[in-house]
Structure 1
Amino acid sequence: MNEFLNKLKMLYKGFDYNKYWSSLESLYDPSISKFKRLLCRNYVSRVNRRFCASIAYNPNSRDFNFKSWPILGHGLNGIVIAAGAIIGKDCYISHQVTIGRSRGGAPTLGDNVYIGPGAKIFGDITIGNNVRIGANCVVFQDIPDNATVVLQKPRIIIKDANYEYYTANPDEAKRS
């Protein structure tokens, strides 16, 4: 009965940060047996699907891409990290962040980097140490140490008075 209750608790327990990262890390450990590696790969895949995340790993590589486990302020919700991306120590990654490959390369993040919600980082670029990347920024060029990246102010586009907006059902959106 006690074993059943422990399994039941695990079903309703939230995200187990330590278990996830140690499982991901063990995929790169050559001393781990094939069976344990299979279990870890299965666990990581299930957690990624549950939280709509994709923390990719390269099974042919023996290098773990994280210098230390990143701080995930909102759990794994929507985080996508491409295989080959290198993440430095003490990085804070918010929800809905994409760190992706472009033109054959993946980004390298320095130590103590903050990435705001919805930020996108693409390509074979280097993000320096102590960098802050604001919410919804799209970064595709190298960023020096101790920099802050923010969006410029929004553009306002004014349309003609007769401009017709596309709608799925034009009868529902008649102008008066």
Structure 2
Amino acid sequence: MFDSLVAYLDSIRARDPAPRSRWEILLYPGLWAVGLHRVAHWLFEAKLYFLARLINHFSRFVTAIDIHPGAKIGRHLFIDHGFTVIGETAEIGDNVTIYQCVTLGGTNPANGVPGKRHPTLCDNVILGSGAQVLGPITVGARARVGANAVVTEDVPEGATMVGLKARSTLVPVETWLKDFIPYGTPCKEPCEPAGGSRIDELENEVAVLKAQVSALLAERTGDDAPNAPVTGSGRRRNRN
């Protein structure tokens, strides 16, 4: 058990450069939230729902992280900072990183019968701050969800999701980023695949339209020049 705790602390330290020692990590609210959830989940599986909820509410009060006792969490989950919500049927794999203000939210079944309604996160997923992952979808292994992205569809393995509604920036397998990326958002490299973003495309279309309008105005000005009225002695007379 001690070795498992040390491995867990080392996995957090590998993803967070802030702590100077393992002792600091022991004070992290995310670590306490996951630890208390282990107890609450054990009680939930034993159908001691009231006690499970009691621990859940205590954990939320102390850590500002709300993990439903029914959620299934793998090894080495790192919740960096608080204000995160994880729903009842959420499933989280190993070595997942979740930053602040993230929601693993569920859908309300139309038939009123509860079932799988929260996301499944595979191994090594990174959720940036403010990300909202909603519904019974699957986020593939090593996928990244950028800050404030809203994800409502399955995410391919190794993809990076950005935007509202989130879109994939999936790149070929040989160029996948396999190293850990803080907040799930590359900062030194473009998020978009080669070819530019949608904003660049719109800007190019606007430039083309401006050029066409300018050409039409120039053409109309050239056509109207011979018909311009002449004043003074050169004024045209109406022959009719």
- TM-score per shorter chain, which class? 0.5 to 0.7
How many angstroms apart in 1 are the aligned matches of 2:41 and 2:106?
A: 20
Count of aligned residue pairs for this structure pair = 133
Q: 1:29 corresponds to which residue?
A: 42
Residue 97 of structure 1 aligns with which residue?
102
1:144 is the counterpart of 2:156 = yes
Which of 73, 77, 94 is the matching residue for 1:70?
A: 77
Q: CA deviation at 1:15?
A: 4.3
Find the residue that maps to 2:79 and give its secondary structure. strand
**CA deviation profile, 1:123-152 (whole Å, cap 9, x unmatched):** 111100000100000000001101001127
More helix by share: 2
Residue 34 of structure 2 aligns to a residue in which SS?
Answer: helix
Q: How does 1:77-92 map to 2 (within 5 A)?
A: 77-92=82-97
**CA deviation after TM superposition for structure 1 residue 34, in Å:** 9.7
Q: RMSD of the alignment, in Å?
A: 3.1
Tell me the TM-score normalized by structure 1: 0.63
Counterpart of 1:107 (choices 95, 119, 122) is 119
Q: Secondary structure at the match of 2:91?
A: coil
After superposing on structure 2, the runs of 4+ consecutive aligned residues of structure 1 that deviate more than 4 Å are 13-19, 32-35
* Structure 1 residue 33 displacement after superposition: 9.2
- CA 1:34–1:137 in structure 2 vs 1: closer, same or farther (change >3 Å)? closer
CA offset digits 1:141-173 (Å, max 9, x no partner): 00110100112789xxxxxxxxxxxxxxxxxxx
Q: Pick the structure with greater CA Rg.
A: 2
Which residue is 2:66 aligned to?
Answer: 54
State which of 110, 118, 140 in structure 2 corresponds to 1:128.
140
* Sequence identity (%): 29
The offset of 1:57, in angstroms, is 1.7
Q: Which amino acid aligns with 2:34?
A: W
State the alpha-carbon separation in 1 of the partners of residues 66 and 36 from structure 2. 14
Alpha-carbon shift at residue 67 of structure 1 (Å): 1.4
Q: Distance in 1 between matches of 2:46 and 2:69?
A: 18
Residues 130 and 83 of structure 1: CA distance in aligned 2, closer, same or farther (over 3 Å): same
Change (3 A) 1:18 1:116: closer
Shift of 1:14: 4.4
Structure 1 pair 96–43 and aligned structure 2 pair: CA distance change class (3 A)? same
Q: Give the residue type in structure 2 aligned to 1:45.
A: H
